[in-house]
Amino acid sequence: MDAPVPLIICALLAGVAVLVRPAHARVRAAAMLLALALAVVILIAEIYHSSQFAVLRHHPGPSLAGAVLAAIVLGLLAWLIDRRPQLLAIGAALTLPFRIPITAGGSTANLLVPLYAVVAAGALAFAVPRLLGRVTDEDTDEKPAGWLEWSLLGLVVVYAIQASYSDDFTRALQNVVFFYVPFAILFVLLRRLAWTTKLAVQCLGVLVALAVVFVAIGFWEYHTRHLLLNPKVIADNQFAPYFRVNSLFFDPNIFGRFLAIVMVGVTGVVLWTQERRAVIGGAVVLAVLWGGLVLTLSQSSFGALLVGLAVLGALRWSVKWALVGAVAALAVGAVFVVAAPSTVRLHLGDSKSADTATSGRYDLIKGGANLFADRPVQGFGAGSFPREFRRHDKSSSEKAVSASHTIPLTVAAEQGAIGLLLYAAVLVFAFVMLFRGARASPVRATVAAAFAALVFHTLLYAAFLEDPLTWALLGLGAGLP
C-alpha cells in the first residue's frame, strides 16, 4: 500500500478522538474505534506478504480460531477495565516495555503488541457503552483539549500528510500506524482517568518490578557474555573492548532510557516520602538499577538520569543549587575530556574522532543540518531521513543509519520548519502543563522530571513520539488534578 489517503484519514480520526469535546462522547467513541480499525487494515495490507503473515494465509482455520480467541480475550479485558478503570493504567505500565519484531516493507519493526491489546481493550471499554448511550460523570467533568493536545495531534496529522511526498513512505506508514495512532488513543484514555497518588505509585511499582527483572537478565547476559536479542549488538560486542547488555530490549540505549525513567520515579518517592522503610527500599532499588544502567554503557541514558535528578532537586529544594550541581557535573566532565581525551576516543580538533566518540552522531548531526538547509520549509517528507542521508552523504552511503539520533534534526530534515514549529510547540506546552504546580505535587514533580529526562535522551538518541513512555507521561500529567 503506497497511497497516503488512508494514512491521513487514520491520523485525522485519532485527532478527533483526542480533540473532540468531552460532551460529544459518541463522536469520540466512534473516532477511536475507527482509527484503530483502520490502523489494523493498513497494517494487514502492509505485512500481508511477509513471512509472519504467511502462516496465517496458509492456515485459515487455525487463524480464524486465533482471531476469535483474541476477540474473546479483548472483550474480557474491556469488561474488566470498564468495571475498574484503574486497570487500564496498570495494564499499560505492565506492557510498556515488551516489543515483538515484525517484518514490514522489507524492514523489521519492534512492535509493542501486548500494549496494543491493552489500548484496544481500553478503547472498547470506553467506546461501546458510549455508543449505546451511556454517559458518565467522567464525560461531563473531563477537561477539554488544550494547546498541548492540539499541537501534539497537529504534529501527527502533518506527519501523515508529509508522508505523501516522502521517498520512504513505508517507514512513515509504520510510524503512524504502529506508534502514533495507538499511542494517541492511549494518551486520551490515560488523560481521562481519575488519577490519584495511590494509582501513580502502583504504576511505578509495576515498572520497578519489571526493571528489576530486566536488570537481573542484564546481569546474566554480562556474566555469560551472551545476549538474548539483536544480532547487531551481539556482533558489536564481539569486536569491541567492552560488553553492552540490552536485556529483553532490542537496544541498550532504549533499555538505558527505561531504567533512567524508572530511577527518576523511584528517586521522586524517596525525596518526598516520610517513611523510613520506603527510603531504604528505594535506595536498594536505585543501587540495583544503577548496576544495570552501567552495563548498558548508554551515555545518553546517563545524561538523561542526571537531567531528571537535577529537575527533582530543583523542585524539591532549590533551583539555584540544582544549577550549581549541574554546572559542577559539566565542569568535571569537561576536565575529564581535556585531561584524558583518549578514554572517550576523542582527539581534540579532529572531527573524525568526534564522530567516533559520539558513535557516529557527529556525522549524522551534520548530515541532518545539511538536509534541513536544502529544504527548510517542507522537508524531505515523513520517515525519509535514513534514505536521504545516505543519498546526500556519499561517504556514508554504506553506513547503517535508521535515524539522526537527534530528534529535532530528524524533524527538521523530514518535516522542515512546519514540523519543527509543531515539535517546539509540543515541548513548550508539555513543560508548561507539567511544571505548573509541580512544587506542590510530588507526583507532578516526578512526572515533570521524568519527561525532562526523556526529552534530553531524545536529543542524543532516536524515538520521541515513537516511544509510548512519551504519551504515557503526558497522559498522566494531563490527567492529574
Are 21 and 31 within 8 A, CB to CB? no
Count of structural domains within the chain:
2
371/264 same-domain check:
yes
Last residue of a domain, one of 142, 159, 194: 194
Please report the pLDDT score of residue 65 as a whole number: 82
Last residue of a domain, one of 159, 175, 194: 194
- Tell me the pLDDT tens digit for each residue of 265-287: 999 999 999 899 999 999 999 99
96/77 same-domain check:
yes
- Domain that includes residue 362, residue range: 195-481
pTM: 0.88
Cα–Cα distance, 465 to 410 (Å, whole number): 12
- Tell me the pLDDT tens digit for each residue of 287-321: 999 999 999 989 899 999 999 999 999 999 877 77
Q: What angle do CA 161, 415, 171 make, to 5 degrees?
A: 65
105/33 same-domain check:
yes
- Identify the top-confidence range among 30-34, 41-45, 337-341, 392-396: 30-34
Cα–Cα distance, 201 to 56 (Å, whole number): 41
117/188 same-domain check:
yes
14/78 same-domain check:
yes
447/343 same-domain check:
yes
121/263 same-domain check:
no
170/242 same-domain check:
no
Bridge partners of residue 100, in order along the sequence? 111
450/306 same-domain check:
yes
Last residue of a domain, one of 161, 194, 227: 194
Residue-wise DSSP of 95-113: HTT--EEEEETTEEEEE-H
129/201 same-domain check:
no
